[in-house]
Amino acid sequence: MAEPPSELDAIPDLDVPTAPSRQEASAAPTPSAEPRVAPPTSAPAGPLSGYFGSGEFELDDSGAPLELHEGAEAAAPRLDLGAELHLDEGPVAPSLETATVASPEGPAPTHVALPTGITPEPASLRPEARELADFAAYPALPTSALQAPLYALRVLLRRRALTRSLAQELTLLERAEHERDELLADCARRQRPALQAVGELALELPAIDALSLETQQQRQRSAQTHQAHAQALEALARDRAALEAEDRRAQLARAPDDARLAEAEQALQRAEARAQRANIELRNAVAAVHEAQARKTSPTEAQRATFQEKQAAVADAEARLAPAREAALAARRIIGEHDAAAQRRAQAARALGTQERQLEQQFRLLDATQSAAFERAAGRERQAWANLLRQALQRRHPLPLAPATLEALRAADAQVLAAATRHALVLAALDAADDAQVRRGLGVGAAALLALALLCGALLLLLR
């Protein structure tokens, strides 16, 4: 059977050379792995040139000749972050913020996924039905009204556990977002010259500078408060040290006075004992005289002498007792002065303690207030810097971001995405149960309890 005429036969003056053999084609030079832009001149002769003659086609709409280069990939366009970010294939400079975008005159860049710095909405992260059912772990739907109360109870218990898990996942998500925003803000601060070169982004910098000034002022206020608190504590510590030194000196000065008081007390005790013995002996002598008088006899000379001797002893003891008492009283007054001084020092120490506690309370209150104000100011500044870099990333503005920085930003996005996915899973699990069945189970359970209560009441009435 004759072959149908080829379409090439209908084209006049078109010579179709014989295709090269497979060995010839394999012997052709291998195209470079690095993409290159097609030069404006015609391609050199090669294994494919035999098919298309000189390598030039007719002019396109723009008037430039269409060319086909052997082994060449599609030419890479110039860097335009409106499309996506390009990283140089060449070596990276040692600085952190080195140029990682390709120069228009350099080799074709490598396409890299650009971080977003944005937390996805929970609605966009809704899990699949099978995954949601496995995670929610709700019981099977009841098949009868009697099973409805148990279903409702198990759903409520599971929702209680999911609510606790939701709070934990929200905390983890907020922590991941905070770390990502910290990274974005730090990167944006280092990229300030590049951001300032972009007109629409440069308009945001004055407001950010105002926020930075507010943050710096709050930091200075907090530092001044800490410094004033430290100085007040140092002054209290000096007063306490001076009070303790004074107390030690007073104790040293009191030691000899305590010894003198003890000696005076002992002397007074001896004088009182001597006077007491003298009085007893005098009473005995008087009793002897009275006894002689009772017998209606005159006291003997010995009795009179003894009486007089005891009277002299009593007078002598009383004379010695008075100085001993005065010495003891003087020593006691000195010790009393020491005790009064010690009480004053104790009161001063208690006053210092009270002052220190009040100072700590005031400092904690003021520090908490200033710390909260600083955190709010720093958070607004951080959010402003992070939003500025988000705008630059979303609008594909050219920024000299280093590969390590891009990798860190992508890792932060991945961490936030994982946390947001877990949070969305728990959030969806809370609503995955059949609310109608839960309400039905609660109603049936309430009705059963009411019937049981009425039955118990009727039984109690019958038992009476």
State pLDDT tens for residues 96-107.
Answer: 333 343 333 333
Residue 99 burial (10 A CB sphere; 0-12, 13-18, 19+): middle
Residue that has been written with the tokens 């988000």 in this structure: 390
Q: Name, in order, each residue with C-beta under 8 angstroms of 286's C-beta and a sequence gap of 6 or more.
A: 307
Between strands 85-87 and 65-67, the pairing is unpaired
Q: Which residues contact 418 (CB under 8 A, 6 or more apart)?
A: 176
Residue boundaries of the structural domains of the chain: 65-111, 113-191+401-463, 206-393
Which pLDDT tens digit goes with each residue over 370-419? 999 999 999 999 999 999 999 988 888 878 888 898 899 999 999 999 99
pLDDT value at residue 83: 36
Mean pLDDT value of segment 453-457: 88
- As a whole number, mean pLDDT of residues 172-193 equals 93
User: Is residue 12's pLDDT more than 50?
Assistant: no
pLDDT in tens, 324-341: 889 999 999 999 999 999
- The DSSP bridge pattern shows strands 65-67 and 56-59 to be antiparallel
Least confident of 87-91, 277-281, 297-301, 375-379: 87-91
Architecture of domain 206-393: Orthogonal Bundle (1.10)
pTM of the predicted model, to two decimals? 0.56
* CB contact at 8 A, 427 and 166: yes
Helix (H) or strand (E) segment spanning residue 236: helix 205-294
Q: What is the DSSP string of 153-199?
A: HHHHHHHHHHHHHHHHHHHHHHHHHHHHHHHHHHHHHHTHHHHHTSH
